[in-house]
Amino acid sequence: MDSLNPEEVLKFIEFVNNLKHLPRRGWIFTKIKDHETISGHMYAMALMTFLLGDNSQLDRLKCLQLTLVHDLAEAIVGDITPHDNVPIDEKHKKEDEAMKEITSHIGTAGLSIYKLYKEYEAKETPEAKFVKDLDRFDLLFTAACYEKRDNAPRQCQEYFDSLEGKFEHPFLKKLVALIVKTRNSNTISKETTN
């Protein structure tokens, strides 16, 4: 760290700090109030990687690292959602350019972060595939929590519909099935009491 330019280090930390205040914009479209930030989402995912058992075939440290960088580009480009109607190629290009800007002046740390980001985007390694599943899982779990908190059954149904059948990791599939079952039983009990 001593060989890094202190001004460039502070600039990098400022990018990271931006994520603490940037909301995940998808919640706005479902009218969720007091929703999470990008860094809150990344932090939750990072903590979930600790639940990988010692017998897991996945590299836990690699998964942790991938969770911490997967949305870093949003510090510059913001949270681009499907509601923005930005073509996927354009979204990836903007995010890649942002990652280059964020990581280009912090030496080997920047190279490592950019390499992790590219690994996540390629979704070819088992760890990258798991972290993508974890990203989806966090979305569904958070959606179910918001519905429960706001007493608003099915308010986030579009997320459940769009992610149905998209999970690959066996344990995350079990967790998603449990969330859906619990969510459905809560909705049924609310409907019968009204």
- CA separation for the pair 3, 6 (Å, rounded): 9
**100-153 tens-digit pLDDT:** 999 999 999 999 999 999 999 999 999 999 999 999 999 999 999 999 999 999
User: Residue 192: what pLDDT?
Assistant: 47
Place of tokens 């969330």: 179
Rounded CA separation 38/75 (Å): 9
Q: Which of 134, 145, 142, 138 is nearest to 171 (CA)?
A: 134
Q: How do residues 58-78 score in pLDDT, each as one tens digit?
A: 999 999 999 999 999 999 999
How buried is 108 (Cβ within 10 angstroms: 0-12 exposed, 13-18 middle, 19+ buried)?
A: exposed
Considering the chain, what is the average pLDDT of its residues? 92
Bridge partners of residue 37, in order along the sequence:
23
Entry pTM: 0.91
CATH of domain 6-193: 1.10.3210.10
Nearest to 45 by CA among 114, 138, 122, 172: 138
CA distances from 93 to 57, 62, 87, 112, 191 (A): 32, 24, 10, 19, 45
Q: Where are the domains of the chain?
A: 6-193
Residue 11 burial class via C-beta count within 10 angstroms: exposed 0-12, middle 13-18, buried 19 and up: middle
